[in-house]
Chain A
Amino acid sequence: MSQIEILSTDNKLTTIDGGLRLVGHKHISTVSKITTVAPCKTYIVPLQQHIGAISQPLVKTGDRVLKGQMLAMPGDLVSAAVHSPVSGTVSEIRQHDIPHISGLSDLCVVIDNDFKDEWIERNPIAEDYNNTTSSELRKIVRDAGIVGLGGATFPSSVKQTEMNIKTLILNGVECEPYITCDDALMREHAREIISGADIIGHIIKARQCIIAIEDNKPEAIQALQSVVDEDGTGYFIIQVVPTIYPSGGEKQLIQILTGEEVPKGRFPAELGVLCHNVATAYAIHRAVFLGEPLISRIVTITGHGVSHPQNIEALIGTPMKKCIEHCGGYTEDSDELIMGGPMMGFSLQTDELPVVKATNCLLVTARQEDTHRQRHLPCIRCGKCADVCPVRLLPQQLYWYASSQNNDRLVEHNLFDCIECGCCAYVCPSDIPLVQYYRHAKTTIWQQERERKSSDISRQRHEAHQRRLDKIKQEREEKMRKKRELLKKKSQEQASKNQGDEKSSKQAIIAEAIARAQAKKAQRNKDQGNAGKQSSDKDSTGQEDKSKEISQN
C-alpha cells in the first residue's frame, strides 16, 4: 500500500460508494449563536466517556474539587482522564444512568457545585508549543482528557503518532442531518480550530493540513477560509466536499480526499494520513493556550420536539434536562430523545442523563402521524441496501444470515466491516431495522469468540494438567521400572556371580581332574610303556563323559 503524496488544492475528489443525499434540517439550529447553559446544582461525570479502559478515580466522597481538577486518570494506555466541570464537593461516586446505547448505568462522580467557579492552577504553554517536543504535547493532550469529539471518543493522544504522517485531515464534514455543533464551532471559533490544527500538525510532524467541509456550510467555509488566507503559508488547505451521507466517516472521508481506501483492519496512518475532528482541534487549542482540560463541549439541541433549537456550550456532566430547559423545553408533541443524529444516534429512555464527551447532539423528534409499522415485512432482496452501502457490503445477505444465525457466513460476508451508518435501513422498503440485526450478530459473535477463547484456555489448562499428571505418572513408572531393572540386574548379577563362581570352581575341579587324569595317564604311560591304542581311546571317552557329568552339575 502506497502512502498518499502531498495533495494540492486542485486535487480531484473521489466519491464514496453508495451513500445518501438526505434532507439536512440544519437551519433549525443555526439561527442563533452558541449560548452557554447556566450553572446547575449537580454535575454527574461518568468515568467511562471514551473508547478504552475505564478511568481510575483520584477523588473520594466528600473531597473538595476545583474546576478543571482531574477526577480520574486514564486506566490504561487507551483511556482518558476526566475532570471536574465546576468547583465544589464530590457528593458521591456511584452507579448512575449514562447515555449509552445499552441503556445501562456506570460509575459516575457526582459533584455538588459551590458556584464559586474556582479554577485549578492552569499552566498554558501557549505559543511555546513550537519549542515543545511531541511527547510533551501529547502528554498535555492526554492530561486534558481529550478524545475524538466527532462521536467516536477515541483518546486523541493515542492516535497522534509520528509514524510517517504526511497529511493531517481536519474533519468538519458533519454529514448527519440536524447536527450543527461543528458548523457553529467553525463559524464562531475558526481561529482556535486552525490553531489547534497547527498544534496537532506540530505533534505528528504533518506536512500539510486539509480541512474538509461539506458544501452545505458556506458560512463555516468562509470563516475558516479567511483564517487560512491570513496564515498564507499554504500549509492549510480547505477542501469542500459534496454533501453525501456518510462522508464524515473517517474512512469515507479519506476515500473522498485521497482516492485511497484504508486497508482492511489497518489504520489511516498506513496511508500517511491522520484524521481529527474540528472540535477536537478546538479542545487541543484550549488545552495548550488556556491550560484548560476538556470540561465542556458544543451540543446541538434540535428537532421539532424542542421549543428553541440552538447550539449550546454545556459542561460535561450537565443533566440533559437542564440543556433542554435552556432551549425552552419540550414542545407539546415531542416524541423521542435521541443522542447523536437521526441516522446513527440512539434514543434515550430519560433526560435524567449527563452530557458526556460524545454528546454532539440531542435531537428531540416530534410525533408523526405515520408511525412505524409494528412488525417489519419480509426482505424481498431488492438490493437497495447494497446500492447505498458505503462499504460495499451485501446487507440483504447479512440480514439473511443474521436471522438464521449463520455466523460463519456472516464473517465471510464481512459483517465486521459494517460501520453501522444506517443507510441500508434507511432505504429498506420492508422497514427492517438492519443495523440492529448486525449489532446483535456482532455482539453474539464476540460473545461466542470470548467463550471459545475461555473454553480454549480451560481446555489448554486441562490438557496441561493432564500432561502434567501423565508426566508424573510416566516419571513414576520410569523410576519404578528403573528400580525394578536395577533390582533385577542386581539379582541377576548376584545370580550370575554365584553361577560364575560355581562355574569357575567347577572348571577348576575339571581342570584339576583333567590334570590329575593326565598326570595319571602320563604316569601310566610311563609305567606301562607300550600301551594299546584302544585303551587310550577308551580313556579319552571316559574323560569326556566325566567332563559332561561335571558340567551337568
Chain B
Amino acid sequence: MLFKRTPAPHIKQSINVQDMMLKVLYALIPGALASIYFFGWGVLFNLLIAISVCLLSEAVILKVRQRDVTDSLMDGSALVTACLLALALPSLAPWWLTVIASISAIAVAKHLYGGLGFNPFNPAMVGYIVVMISFPLEMTLWTAPMGVPHGSTTGWPDFITTFNWVFLGALPYAETIDSISMATPIDLLKTQLSQFHDVTETRNNPDFSPLFSSISGTGWQWINILYLAGGVWLVKKGVADWRIPTAFLISLVLISNLFAVIDYSANSSALFHAFSGGTMLCAFFIATDPVSASTTPRGRWIYGAGIGALVYIIRSWGGYPDGIAFAVVLMNIAAPLIDYYTQPKVYGDPNR
C-alpha cells in the first residue's frame, strides 16, 4: 500500500493568521464603539472609507502581483490595517485624506515592500504619517466629544452636517470648520503651554474644563480604558505579545511621572499620558504588530520602552500633537538592529 508523504510535525495547533487577525478586530470593538459614541459619525465614515479603500487597493495590488487575491484578502491583515488607521485619524477627516492614508498604507508601506510579513514599517502608521506631514491642518479636525459644550452646540455635529463635511467639504450656512471642530486635550495643553498657561490653569479654565475628565480627557479616558480591556483580552488569548505593551506603558508612565514630579505645572500627569490620545490603541494594537516589531524576547522590551520614550518626547517637545505614529515607525527602523543584538543565549551556551 502506498501513502502520501508530508513533513513533520503531523499534528498542528488549530491557530492561524486569520484567527489572529479576527481576534484583533474583536478586541478593537469596545474601544471603537466608544470612539463612535464620543466622536460621532465621522469615526464611522473613517472606518467605512478606510476599509473599502484598503481592501480594494489590496485586491488590485495582489492582482498586479499575480497573487491569489481571495486567499490573501481572507487573511484579514488589510482589514486590521484599515481599522487601526481609521481609528487613529481625526473624526472630521475629509474623505480624500482617509483615501490617501489608506492607499499609502496598503500600496506603499505594505505591498511595495513585499506584502504581508515583509513590511519593515507598520502600514497603518506609515499611512498616518503621510497625511500627517502633508495635511497637518486637516489632521487636527476632531469634533468636540459627546457632552462637551462647544459654541452654540454640544458634542459632535449631526449626520447630515458630518456627511456633507466629510464627503463634500461643505458646511451649513453660518457654520465654519472651527465651529464644529475642537482641539484634543493633548493638543490644547500644548498650545496653552506655548502661551504660558500652565497645565492647572488650562484645566481650570471654564472654557476648557469640560474637555478634561478626572484622569485625562472627556471621552478619551473611556476610549483608552476600553482599548486597554480589549488589549488585555488579546494578550490573554496569546495573539498580542505581552512584553511590548508592558514595556511601552511602564516607560511612558515612568518618564511622564518623572517630569510631572519635577514640574507639575508644566507637565501632565502620568495617568493623563497613559489614558490620552492613542496610547492604549498603540500599546496593544499598533506597537504589537509582530511583522514590524522586534521579535526577540529581550528585544521586545527594548522596542516597547523605546516607543514609550519617543511618544513622550514627541508629545512634550515635538511639533505634532500626538507622537504615536512617529514613535512606532522610528522603533520599526531600529527593530532589526535590536533583534540582532538581543539574540537569546541557546541551551548550553557557555556564556549564559
How near does chain B come to A116, taking the closest CB pair, in angstroms?
31
Q: Are B296 and A386 within 8 A (Cβ)?
A: yes
Q: Which residues of B contact A338 (CB under 8 A)?
A: 10
Contact A343-B9, Cβ < 8 Å, known A377-B116, A430-B17: yes
Q: Which residues of A contact B339 (CB under 8 A)?
A: 394, 397
Residue of B nearest to A351 (CB): B1
Q: Are B350 and A380 within 8 A (Cβ)?
A: no
Q: Are A391 and B9 within 8 A (Cβ)?
A: no
- Give the segment of A40-48, A138-146, A292-300, A420-428 that binds chain B: A420-428
Q: Does B290 contact A (CB under 8 A)?
A: yes
How near does chain A come to B343, taking the closest CB pair, in angstroms?
6
Q: Are B350 and A381 within 8 A (Cβ)?
A: no
CB contacts under 8 Å to B, within A371-396, are 372, 377-384, 386, 390-394, 396
Q: Are B6 and A336 within 8 A (Cβ)?
A: yes
Contact A381-B3, Cβ < 8 Å, known A264-B348, A429-B19: no
Q: Which residues of A contact B77 (CB under 8 A)?
A: 380
Q: Are A422 and B4 within 8 A (Cβ)?
A: no
Q: Does A365 contact B (CB under 8 A)?
A: yes
Q: Are A343 and B8 within 8 A (Cβ)?
A: yes
Residue among B241, B343, B347 facing the most chain A CB atoms (10 A cut-off): B347
Bound-state Cα–Cα, A496 to B181, Å: 117
Bound-state Cα–Cα, A22 to B5, Å: 23
Q: Which residues of B contact A394 (CB under 8 A)?
A: 295-296, 339, 343-344
Q: Are A347 and B6 within 8 A (Cβ)?
A: yes
Q: Are B13 and A321 within 8 A (Cβ)?
A: no
Bound-state Cα–Cα, A325 to B2, Å: 15
Contact A350-B291, Cβ < 8 Å, known A251-B348, A380-B17: no
The listed residue (B6, B7, B14, B20) touching A382 by CB distance below 8 A is B20
Bound-state Cα–Cα, A384 to B290, Å: 10
Q: Are A397 and B1 within 8 A (Cβ)?
A: no
The listed residue (B11, B75, B290, B297) touching A177 by CB distance below 8 A is B11
The listed residue (B15, B293, B343, B345) touching A429 by CB distance below 8 A is B15
CB contacts under 8 Å to B, within A301-352, are 321, 330, 335-338, 342-351
Q: Does B136 contact A (CB under 8 A)?
A: no
Contact A377-B6, Cβ < 8 Å, known A177-B11, A264-B346, A414-B346: no
The listed residue (A263, A337, A343, A386) touching B297 by CB distance below 8 A is A386
The listed residue (B9, B19, B118) touching A425 by CB distance below 8 A is B9
Residue of B nearest to A390 (CB): B347
The contact string, 1 if C-beta is below 8 Å from chain B, for chain A 429-467, is 111010110000000000000000000000000000000
Q: Does B349 contact A (CB under 8 A)?
A: yes
The contact string, 1 if C-beta is below 8 Å from chain A, for chain B 52-75, is 000000000000000000000001
Q: Does B169 contact A (CB under 8 A)?
A: no
CB contacts under 8 Å to A, within B302-352, are 339, 343-350, 352
Q: Does B16 contact A (CB under 8 A)?
A: yes
Residue among B17, B20, B343 facing the most chain A CB atoms (10 A cut-off): B17
Contact A263-B6, Cβ < 8 Å, known A386-B297, A429-B19, A429-B20: no
Residue of B nearest to A251 (CB): B347
Contact A427-B290, Cβ < 8 Å, known A347-B6, A390-B347, A394-B296: no
Q: Are A330 and B1 within 8 A (Cβ)?
A: yes
Bound-state Cα–Cα, A345 to B3, Å: 15
Contact A435-B16, Cβ < 8 Å, known A384-B238, A392-B347: no
Contact A343-B343, Cβ < 8 Å, known A349-B5, A381-B295: no
Q: Does B210 contact A (CB under 8 A)?
A: no
Bound-state Cα–Cα, A321 to B2, Å: 11
Q: Are B9 and A382 within 8 A (Cβ)?
A: no
Residue of B nearest to A344 (CB): B8
How near does chain B come to A412, taking the closest CB pair, in angstroms?
8
The listed residue (A103, A365, A372, A392) touching B346 by CB distance below 8 A is A392
Q: Does A255 contact B (CB under 8 A)?
A: yes
Contact A372-B6, Cβ < 8 Å, known A378-B118, A379-B117, A380-B116: yes
How near does chain A come to B291, taking the closest CB pair, in angstroms?
5
The listed residue (B12, B20, B116, B295) touching A426 by CB distance below 8 A is B12
Q: Are B16 and A431 within 8 A (Cβ)?
A: yes
Q: Does B149 contact A (CB under 8 A)?
A: no
The contact string, 1 if C-beta is below 8 Å from chain A, for chain B 80-102, is 00000000000000000000000
Contact A262-B348, Cβ < 8 Å, known A348-B5, A349-B2: yes
Q: Are B116 and A263 within 8 A (Cβ)?
A: no
Q: Which residues of A contact B2 (CB under 8 A)?
A: 349-350
Bound-state Cα–Cα, A384 to B15, Å: 11
Q: Are A372 and B12 within 8 A (Cβ)?
A: yes
Bound-state Cα–Cα, A337 to B115, Å: 37
Q: Which residues of A contact B15 (CB under 8 A)?
A: 427, 429
Q: Which residues of B contact A265 (CB under 8 A)?
A: 348
Bound-state Cα–Cα, A427 to B293, Å: 19
Q: Are A347 and B349 within 8 A (Cβ)?
A: no
Q: Are A345 and B117 within 8 A (Cβ)?
A: no
How near does chain A come to B195, taking the closest CB pair, in angstroms?
45
Contact A429-B17, Cβ < 8 Å, known A351-B1, A390-B347, A391-B347: yes
Q: Does A189 contact B (CB under 8 A)?
A: no
The contact string, 1 if C-beta is below 8 Å from chain A, for chain B 205-238, is 0000000000000000000000000000000001
Q: Does A413 contact B (CB under 8 A)?
A: yes
Q: Does A501 contact B (CB under 8 A)?
A: no
How near does chain B come to A161, taking the closest CB pair, in angstroms?
19
Q: Are A321 and B1 within 8 A (Cβ)?
A: yes
Q: Which residues of A contact B297 (CB under 8 A)?
A: 383, 386
The listed residue (A261, A350, A392) touching B344 by CB distance below 8 A is A392
How near does chain B come to A322, taking the closest CB pair, in angstroms?
13
Q: Are A435 and B8 within 8 A (Cβ)?
A: yes
Residue of B nearest to A101 (CB): B8
The contact string, 1 if C-beta is below 8 Å from chain B, for chain A 220-259, is 0000000000000000000000000000000100010000
Q: Which residues of A contact B348 (CB under 8 A)?
A: 251, 261-266, 417
Bound-state Cα–Cα, A7 to B10, Å: 37
How near does chain B come to A325, taking the closest CB pair, in angstroms?
11
Residue of A nearest to B342 (CB): A394
Q: Are A436 and B295 within 8 A (Cβ)?
A: no
How near does chain B come to A96, taking the closest CB pair, in angstroms?
16
How near does chain A come to B2, taking the closest CB pair, in angstroms?
5
The contact string, 1 if C-beta is below 8 Å from chain A, for chain B 29-70, is 000000000000000000000000000000000000000000
Bound-state Cα–Cα, A22 to B12, Å: 10
The listed residue (B7, B16, B238, B343) touching A433 by CB distance below 8 A is B7
Q: Does A114 contact B (CB under 8 A)?
A: no
The contact string, 1 if C-beta is below 8 Å from chain A, for chain B 125-138, is 00000000000000
Q: Are B290 and A380 within 8 A (Cβ)?
A: yes
Q: Are A392 and B9 within 8 A (Cβ)?
A: no
The listed residue (A321, A347, A392, A427) touching B10 by CB distance below 8 A is A347
Residue of B nearest to A388 (CB): B13
Q: Are B347 and A255 within 8 A (Cβ)?
A: yes
For this complex, 13 residue pairs linking A to B, each with C-beta atoms less than 8 Å apart, are A264-B346, A264-B347, A264-B350, A344-B8, A351-B3, A365-B10, A380-B17, A384-B238, A393-B344, A397-B339, A426-B11, A435-B8, A436-B8
Q: A262-B348, A347-B3, A377-B117 are in contact. List 18 more A-B contacts (CB 8 A).
A: A336-B3, A346-B5, A347-B5, A348-B5, A365-B10, A380-B17, A380-B116, A380-B291, A381-B291, A383-B241, A383-B295, A417-B346, A422-B9, A425-B12, A426-B12, A429-B15, A429-B19, A435-B9
Which 4 A-B pairs rank lowest in CB-CB distance, beginning with the nearest? A378-B117, A422-B9, A264-B348, A436-B7
